Amino acid sequence: MGMFAHISKTWALAQILHPIIFFIYLVFVDLSEVEFWLPWIFFILIFSVFASIPSLLIAWLLLYVISHAEFRPGEKLIAWFVSVMAAILFNFILLSVAVDGVISEEMFGMLPPSLIAAVLSILIRVRPFIQFQSNYKIKTEKINHENIS
Where does residue 2 fall: left (phi above 0), alpha (psi -120 to 50 degrees), or beta otherwise? beta
Q: How far apart are CA 17 and CA 52, in angstroms?
A: 13
Residues 140, 68 contacting (CB under 8 angstroms): yes
User: How confident is the model over 31-54, as a mean pLDDT?
Assistant: 75
Residue with the larger pLDDT of the pair 119 and 38: 119
Mean pLDDT of the chain: 82
> Number of folded domains in the chain?
1
DSSP letters of the chain? --HHHHHHHHHHHHHHHHHHHHHHHHHHH-GGGHHHHGGGHHHHHHHHHHHTHHHHHHHHHHHHHHHHS---HHHHHHHHHHHHHHHHHHHHHHHHHHHHSS--HHHHTTHHHHHHHHHHHHHHTHHHHHHHHHHHHHHHHHHHHHHH-
- What count of other Cβ atoms lies within 10 Å of the Cβ of residue 37? 17
User: How confident is the model over 9-22, as a mean pLDDT?
Assistant: 90
pLDDT attached to residue 80:
93
Which tens digits make up the pLDDT trace of 81-98? 999 999 999 998 888 888
pLDDT attached to residue 35:
67
DSSP-derived secondary structure letter, 104: -
Lowest mean pLDDT among 80-84, 97-101, 116-120: 97-101
Answer yes or no: is pLDDT of 40 > 60.
yes
pLDDT attached to residue 140:
54
- The proportion of the chain whose per-residue pLDDT surpasses 90, expressed as a percent, equals 32
Print the domain residue range for 54. Answer: 3-148
Lowest mean pLDDT among 7-11, 12-16, 41-45, 122-126: 41-45
Q: How far is CA 98 from the centre of its chain?
A: 20
Residue with the larger pLDDT of the pair 141 and 76: 76
pLDDT attached to residue 28:
78
Question: Residue 119: which of 61, 91, 77 has the closest Cα?
Answer: 77
Binned at pLDDT 50, 70 and 90, residue 14 comes out as: very high
pLDDT attached to residue 138:
56
Residues 107, 96 contacting (CB under 8 angstroms): yes
